[in-house]
Amino acid sequence: MRLLIIGALEGQLSQASKMAMDGGAKVAHASTIDIGLATLRSGKGADLLLVDVMVDIPALIAGLEAERIHIPVVACGTETNAAAAVNAIRAGAKEYIPLPPDAELIAAVIAAVAKESSDFLYRDPAMANVVRLADQIAGSDASVLITGESGTGKEVMAKYLHARSRRASKPFISINCAAIPEHLLESELFGHEKGAFTGAVARRVGKFEEANGGTLLLDEISEMDFRLQSKLLRAIQERLIDRVGGSRPVPVDIRILATSNRDLALEVRENRFREDLLFRLNVVNLKLPPLRERPGDIAALADHFVAKYSAANGLPQRVLSPAAREELLRAPWKGNVRELENTLHRAVLLSSGNVIESDAIRMPDGTGLSDVVQSHSLASQVREAADAASRTLVGRTVADVERDLILDTLNHCIGNRTQAANILGISIRTLRNKLHQYADEGVAIPAPGEQRTSAA
C-alpha cells in the first residue's frame, strides 16, 4: 500500500502518517497540491491520497482528472471542520477521517483500499473454473489476456492476479486505452521529455516506468491505434521504452496484463489489430463468462452490494426479499456485474424498509425490474418461436414455402384476392396465376368470402 499525504504535516497529521506506516503502508508526503501532482507525475505513484481537509480538494481532484491520474482521495481534519468535510465529499473524496486520528480507523481505511483492489467474489462453478486457472498462472510473469463482455469484472481479475503474483508488493498500474485521446496515449504509456510537444511543460514519467517492478494493465487494448501497437510490441519484447522526445531508451521490468471486450482474432482479420501483438499478449487467456451465465454469482454479489451500500449510506443493514432475489436471478443483466451493482445501490436508497422488495429494484429510467424480466422473457419467447419457424423450413423447397405462404395469407383475408396480393407485395395478376397453378395441382382454393378448412 503506497500512501501519499498532502497538506501541512504537523501534529495530528504526522500522527496519522505514523499510524499508517505502523499498518504497513509506504508513506510519502507533499506539502502542497502542486508538489503532490509533481510527485505523481514523476512516477512515484500512490494507491491512496490522504489529504488535509483545509487543502483545496476540488482543485486537487480537478488536477488529478486533468493529468488522468485515478487514485482514491480520503480527506482528514478536525471535527470542527464540518463544512470543509462536506465540501470535500462533494468534490469527490471517498471518505472523511476526523482528527485526532484513530489507529483502528486508519488501519481500516488502508485495509479497505487494499482489499478492494484484490477481492474477487464468486460462487458459480463457471467462474470457479476461471479463478482456478488464474491461481495457476498468477505466480508467473506470463502475459495474460482477460476477455469478456463489458462489466464482467476484467479489471478486478487483473488486480486479483497481481495480488497473488511475486510482484504483489510492487505497483499495479492501469491505463484505459479507450479513455485517452489517441494523440495523448503514447505519452501516457511511455512518458515525455520537457518540450517534446506543445503543452509538455515538464518531464512526465509514463505508465511503463511507473509500473517498473510491478504489473501494467492495458485496459481495452483493442481501442489502441494500429500505429502505436508496433511501439507497444517493441516495449513488450525488448523491455525498453522511448519517452516522447527522449534521446535514449529506458529499461523497464514489468508484467503485462491486457483486457478486451472485443474478439481480437476478428480484429486481426479486419486489420485493426496486429497479429504479432496478439500472440505476445495472449500467452494465457482468461475468458470471464457473462453474469447471466453464472447464476450462482448473482445471489452472492447481490448480498454483497446490499451490505456495502447500506453501510456506505449510513442505513440499517438491508436484505433482499425472496421475491426480489428471484427476479434478480431471472433478469438478463446486459451490463453484467457493473449493472447489478448500480441497480442494488439504487434499491438500497429507494427501499422504504429494511427488506428490499421487488418494487424498489428499478432501472435508471424508473422501469421496474419485473417489467425488464417480463420483457426479456417475451423477447426470449419470440426468438424461440422464430427459431422454431426457421427449423420447420429446413428440408422444404422454395416452391412449397411460397405456396403455403400465399394460401395462408389468402385464408387470413377470407378469400379476398386484392387484400392478399397487397399483403404479399405482388400484383393481383401474379396471385391469380399462382392460384390457377395450385388448383391444377389439386389444391383446394378458397372462394371470395370463404376460408380453407385445412391446408393442402
Taking the CA atoms of 67, 71, 72 and 74 in sequence, report the sign of the dihedral they define.
negative
Here the cell at position 303 is: 448480498
DSSP 451: -
Fold type of domain 291-376: Helicase, Ruva Protein; domain 3 (1.10.8)
**291-376 shares the fold of 125-287:** no
Question: Does CATH number 3.40.50.300 belong to domain 125-287?
Answer: yes
Number of H helices, E strands in the chain: 19, 14
pLDDT (0 to 100) of residue 378? 46
pLDDT (0 to 100) of residue 384? 52
pLDDT (0 to 100) of residue 393? 67
pLDDT, one tens digit per residue, over 388-398 is 555 666 677 88
Using the CB atoms, write b or e for 224-258: b if 16+ within 10 Å.
beeeebebbbebbeeeebbbbeeeeebebebbbbb
What are the residues facing 99 on neighbouring strands?
78
Please name the amino acid found at residue 6: I
- Among residues 227, 225, 184, the alpha carbon closest in space to that of 207 is found at 184
Distance CA 145, CA 283 (A): 7
Distance CA 200, CA 434 (A): 76
pLDDT, one tens digit per residue, over 261-291 is 999 999 999 999 999 999 999 999 999 999 9
Q: Write the CB contacts of 225 (distance below 8 Å, at least 6 apart in sequence).
A: 182, 185
pLDDT (0 to 100) of residue 110? 66
Return the CATH class of domain 395-440: mainly alpha
Distance CA 307, CA 107 (A): 21
Does the global pTM surpass 0.95?
no
Measured CA to CA in angstroms, residue 255 lies from 138, 170, 173, 212, 376 at distances of 11, 11, 10, 9, 42
Which residue is listed with cell 463457471?
126
pLDDT (0 to 100) of residue 455? 44
For the purposes of burial, counting CB atoms within 10 Å of the CB of 54, is it exposed (0-12), middle (13-18) or buried (19 or more)?
Answer: middle
Question: Does CATH number 3.20.20.70 belong to domain 2-116?
Answer: no
Q: Write the CB contacts of 145 (distance below 8 Å, at least 6 apart in sequence).
A: 257, 258, 259, 260, 264, 278, 281, 282, 283, 284, 285, 286
Distance CA 197, CA 382 (A): 56
pLDDT (0 to 100) of residue 11? 62
Distance CA 138, CA 414 (A): 70
- Among residues 419, 402, 399, 408, the alpha carbon closest in space to that of 454 is found at 408
In the predicted model, residues of the chain with pLDDT beneath 50 are 376-379, 381-382, 455-456
pLDDT, one tens digit per residue, over 349-376 is 989 899 999 888 888 777 767 666 655 4
pLDDT (0 to 100) of residue 165? 92
Asked whether 20 and 27 are in contact (CB, 8 A), the reply is yes
Here the cell at position 189 is: 504509456
pLDDT (0 to 100) of residue 415? 86
| Ranges of each domain in the chain | 2-116, 125-287, 291-376, 395-440
Asked whether 214 and 170 are in contact (CB, 8 A), the reply is yes
